[in-house]
Amino acid sequence: MLVNAKPLQDGFSMPAEWAPQQRVWMIWPERTDNWRDGAVPAQQAFTAVAKAIAEFEPVTVGASASQYDRAQLALDYPGISVVEISSDDAWARDTGPTFVSNGKTVRAVDWRFNAWGGENGGLYASWDKDERVAAKMAAVAGCDRYAADFVLEGGSIHVDGEGTLITTEECLLNPNRNPHLSRADLEQLLGDYLGVSKVIWLPEGLYNDETDGHVDNCCCFVAPGELVLAWTDDPANPNYERCRAALAVIEQSRDAKGRELKVHKMPLPSAIYATEAECQGVEQVEGSQPRTPDEWLAGSYVNFLLVNGGVIMPRFGDPADEPAQALMQQMFPDRKIVAVPGREILLGGGNIHCITQQQPMP
């Protein structure tokens, strides 16, 4: 059922990601102008992520009618179910709903979606199927739904569940999202739809992040009053100044409870580029994002997912994999840390957090 009020009016807010979850949602990849070699390597990578999550909680994967049987076969695993949902691409964090709770029931917020920029930098020419994904997921979940009349992607926000939201100016204030809305307008809307009272604005996300700097690739809450921030000490890394600018904002900020924020510095992997062969495996279609071997890929260990009792994080075959996993265990001592290969997902433009969306317990 579509609810005409706003979540805050009804006593709903977005829980932190570490709150207990009912399930995680994913979408089966098939877009051959984004995923190489007929999307088969991506499907294998998504399957590995789904199976890792299913060790902790149920996973529901939306697949198109043409891919349903293939997805069902690959995902025939305890705790994983496949439902028929058409989509333009497989980024459940951004096209799926954001779930909110009042402590008794869960509802879905259905944001507007324009493929990360619409006609001004969007990553594909048509996104009409993606615009309907959130409503379909809400229906399958049996959740009432709020329809927000402004563009927002789930990867552009993180919350602490206690009134604080973190985002980037690069994304939310980008004129290719909501040019008619000011910072104050957006803060009001984020409060209305997510129940937050404090917004922390980082200047930018990671360099060459094709989402225009989603915060879930560079910084997120790991506990009330605690953040993890992607970090490099290499002045030659194009993220060097970006990380420091973000830290400067965080150090001057307080959360909604008035607390100073503790920051954990998560090392970034070494420079990652696609190979010539990987790029050649992607179909070239007018209106879609080109893939070239000279393009810096925005790899990050911050793009992880919290699940019940666990953390699913990417690894890249990089020297930073081990210290990144060690820091993750330090931040989440009571959770099992599972590192899953992330390169194939990164080749498509994101990582584990981008391809998943948690549905909290009431």
Q: Is 219 a catalytic residue?
A: no
The tokens of 95 are what? 């096209």
User: Pairing mode, if any, of strands 2-3 and 145-151?
Assistant: parallel
**Which of 351, 97, 344 is CA-nearest to residue 206?**
351
What SS3 state is found at 303? coil
Per the listing, tokens 């599972």 go with 338
Strands 80-84 and 59-63: parallel
Sheet with 98-101, edge to edge strand ranges: 2-3, 145-151, 106-112, 98-101
* Cα distance between residue 270 and residue 346, in whole Å: 14
Are 306 and 360 within 8 A, CB to CB?
A: no
- Assign 244 to helix, strand or coil: helix
Total Cβ atoms within 10 A of residue 158:
24
Which residues neighbour 181 within 8 Å (Cβ) at sequence distance 6 or greater? 150, 189
Per annotation, catalytic residue among 171, 218, 243, 354: 354
Q: Cα separation of 25 and 358, whole Å? A: 6
Query: How far is it, in rounded angstroms, from Cα 355 to Cα 49?
Result: 9
Alpha helices in the chain (DSSP H): 40-54, 68-74, 92-95, 128-141, 169-172, 183-194, 240-252, 276-280, 321-331, 343-347
| Measured distance CA(112)–CA(160) in Å, rounded | 23
Q: Catalytic residues, which ones?
A: 354
